[in-house]
Structure 1
Amino acid sequence: MANGSSCADIVDPPGSEPYLLTPGPLTTSPRVKAAMLRDWGSWDGDFRAMTATLRRQLLELVCSSGTVEEFDCVPMQGSGTFVVEAMLGSFIPRDGRSLVLANGAYGQRIARTLDYLGRSYRLIDKGDYLPPRAEEVARALDEDPDIGHVIVVHCETSSGILNPVEEIAAVVHARGRKLLIDSMSALGAIPLDAAKVPFEAVVSSANKCIEGVPGFGFVIARKEALRAARGRSHSLSLDLHAQWAYMEETGQWRFTPPTHVVAAFLEALGQHRAEGGVSGRLARYVENRDTLVEGMRALGFETLLADRWLSPIIVTFFNPADPRFAFQHFYDLMKGKGFIIYPGKLTVVDSFRIGCIGRLDASVMRRVVKAVGESLEEMGVASAAPPASALEEKARLAA
């Protein structure tokens, strides 16, 4: 288990507000909430300076001094899915072909987006339990020379799996292809260094590991890719080149920006730096995960994933086999105790998810485990053990 890494300003949410144990939106700090109390003019010089600061500080998260000049950061209004679609529609040529690496709902959503965009792709679908590995990516690229881009989800939160982006990036780069990374739920807590992991672009969102609130996403991309994207997008509002060019010329967003969200995000970035940046944030999330998993296993629960693939972002647990367990009842009991959890998003087995991110620490996770135990008792669930068939499938795939 990780050593203590709690933040001094972690406090219970105000009033009856519950903790959000989700992969985002998530529980934010009082100072992030307070940052939204002022109104900002979207064309005003002060707000333009805020946008410039946001772009620069995000670049510094993934680009060292040796690579920062090669990349730029482009924020984009909307949810994380908006900016993923903007990345796909702007960087993949209309006649291009891609390799999509999927092991959950968000990889599948990328494939569905490409269907909407009319872009050709090949799919490697690993199911819910396992990550795509370098050797199968290499094989697919060798078999299909028309593939120009490879697309991978950094942390697949439908299962909680952390995909091995470094080894995938190495084989993609060695074969002269370009890597696009959906790091929606990982950037800011999972290290990603452009000098060590060659990628064309990475996208994330304000309301994930930086611990801001929903309202915009952002792409960090090579400038040459942004220049090449001119005229390629299928969409007026999701055109990354147009957004980038306008920001470079004016310092402004093309269309009305989420001003309050930007102000909150800058406060969140300051807290991120004060915690020790990526390494500090990761240490706290790892401790949260370890505390949660240890406590849940002591209650009899089993994780969907083997330990080596458990991310510090969100953990998926099998539903108990006990017929008295009903997820909606369990959810309502947990909410009544101050914790909002996530339903499962798997196709094969019944499950639920508990997030480890947001403004919370190991002491909160111990309270979560206590609330789970109390909820099971109130439901009359004698055992949290999953169905034997779920464990057999997990063992078979891990072998």
Structure 2
Amino acid sequence: MTAPLDPPKLGEPYLLTPGPLTTSYAVKEAMLRDWGSWDDDFRAMTRELRTRLLAMLGEGAGDFDCVPMQGSGTFAVEAMLASFIPRDGKALVLANGAYGKRSAQTMEYLGRDFVLVDKGDYLPPRGDEVAKILAEDPAITHVVAIHCETSSGILNPIEEISQATYAAGRKLLIDSMSAFGAIELKPSEIRYEALVSSANKCIEGVPGFGFVIARKAELEAAKGRSHSLSLDVHAQWANMAKTGQWRFTPPTHVVAAFLVALKAHEAEGGVAARGARYARNRDVMVAGMRELGFETLLNDRWLSPIIVTFFCPAHESFVFDRFYALMKDKGFITYPGKLTVVDSFRVGCIGQMDEHVMRKVVEAAAASLKEMGVDDARPPAIALEERAKLAA
């Protein structure tokens, strides 16, 4: 059973980004009331939030607990890395875009040992590569993987990465920032120690906190590891267990909005239904953009249902800033490219949007190209050559 979408009101544009994203009016409306962070009603909201998130894991959820953390998703990633990787541990960080590299940068700031595997913009890290590296370096204790790398749009093969990690007797930590809630991460099927995500991604809340879902054994072992007072996952977990409260001022309005989003997620049909809507959004939008001549950065095999990267046209009249402005005038905010060998831009598939909205996105893109005098949206030849070479 699915619930009808609640589209933007008050003339808001659609956010075609990986989050913050377009939220329902009901989510926005939930932020109109003030809450006391110490009050029993708010503590009950926090308890419900944690319970609902754990329920998304399905079988095996009883071994885990959920710890919300104030701040952006990156705050939660740093909290996970600092709390679950021992100070004398060593991480294998798998990168194929900006967010894997950010995890490596975080490890540098933490002063903890790591090795980085950088696959570039086009390709995912594979299980056999992970297995080889772990066999050659027994000092590695943890593998850090990005579930969906939104700088390119690659959905990484977490299952085979997990299999290689645990076959070698190591532990897996997952940055599922832009995937959790739309792509299954059932511990009964894919083993991991912890994952992180954020309120403003596939559950369609607003920015303000992230959350760590981790095995209780890992949470217990994390005591005293963190470099930070505010990012100490164990301390936050222990305090919530004791008092039901966040240690420091929580984003009360964001929590209220997130509960509305969680209930809408359940009404839509949960993770499977949310992921299916996003996948349909992607398929409709990609087919339409390709008809206009646009080419995707990735081959179909690796396209995620979260966000898609397109090469910018080679046409001399195409200027992305102008295209962006024209699309915004038509009610759609696109996303600049983050990494690629040539200029690119991204179109998100998540948020309060369905395939009917995505068809309007394609119509807006066609109209924008016409206004710019661009009659050919094909990318430079080097873009396709590079894609073919790296994907071979």
TM-score when normalising by structure 1: 0.97
CA apart distance, 1:16: 2.6
Q: Separation in 2 of the partners of 1:148 and 1:379?
A: 53
Q: 1:137-156 maps to which residues of 2 (within 5 A)?
A: 137-156=130-149
- Out of 359, 363, 388, the position equivalent to 1:395 is 388
1:158 corresponds in structure 2 to 151
Match of 1:37 among 32, 39, 43: 32
| Correspondence for 2:121 among 125, 128, 131 | 128
Which of 157, 163, 167 is residue 170 of structure 1 equivalent to? 163
Runs of 4+ in 1 over 6 A off after TM superposition: none
Q: Which residue of the partner structure matches residue 267 of structure 1?
A: 260
Matching residue of 2:64 = 71
Give yes or no for contact 1:98–1:149 (8 Å, CA) kept in 2. Answer: yes
Give unmatched runs, 5+ long, in structure 1: none
Counterpart selection for 1:87 from 59, 80, 88: 80
The reply to whether residue 227 of structure 1 matches residue 223 of structure 2 is no
Counterpart for residue 351 of structure 2: 358
d(CA) in 1 for partners of 2:254 and 2:297? 34
Moved more, 31-40 or 78-87: 31-40
Deviation at 1:7, TM superposition (A): 4.8
Indicate the RMSD between aligned Cα atoms, in angstroms: 1.0
Alignment map for 1:150-299 (pairs within 5 Å): 150-299=143-292
**1:255 is aligned with what amino acid?**
F
The answer to whether the 8 A contact 2:2-2:269 is kept is no
SS in 1 for 2:185: coil
Q: Which residue of 34, 49, 52 maps to 2:47?
A: 52
Q: SS of the counterpart of 2:68?
A: strand
Name 2:305's counterpart in structure 1. 312
Give the percent of matched residue pairs that are identical in Structure 1 and Structure 2: 70
For residues 49 and 121 of structure 1, the distance between their equivalents in structure 2, rounded to whole angstroms, comes to 40
The answer to whether the 8 A contact 1:62-1:192 is kept is yes
Q: Distance in 2 between matches of 1:84 and 1:63?
A: 23
Say which of 308, 315, 319 aligns to 1:326. 319
Which runs of 5 or more residues in structure 2 are unaligned? none
Match of 1:19 among 7, 14, 33: 14
Q: 1:126 touches 1:132 (CA, 8 Å); kept in 2? A: yes
Q: Is the 1:138–1:171 contact (alpha carbons within 8 Å) kept by the matching residues of 2?
A: yes
What is the CA distance between 1:74 and its match in structure 2?
0.2
| Residue aligning to 2:294 | 301
Q: CA deviation at 1:347?
A: 4.3
Contact 2:2 2:267 in 1 (8 A): no
CA shift at 1:95, angstroms?
Answer: 1.5
- Please tell me whether the aligned partners of residues 6 and 361 of structure 1 are also in contact (alpha carbons under 8 angstroms): no
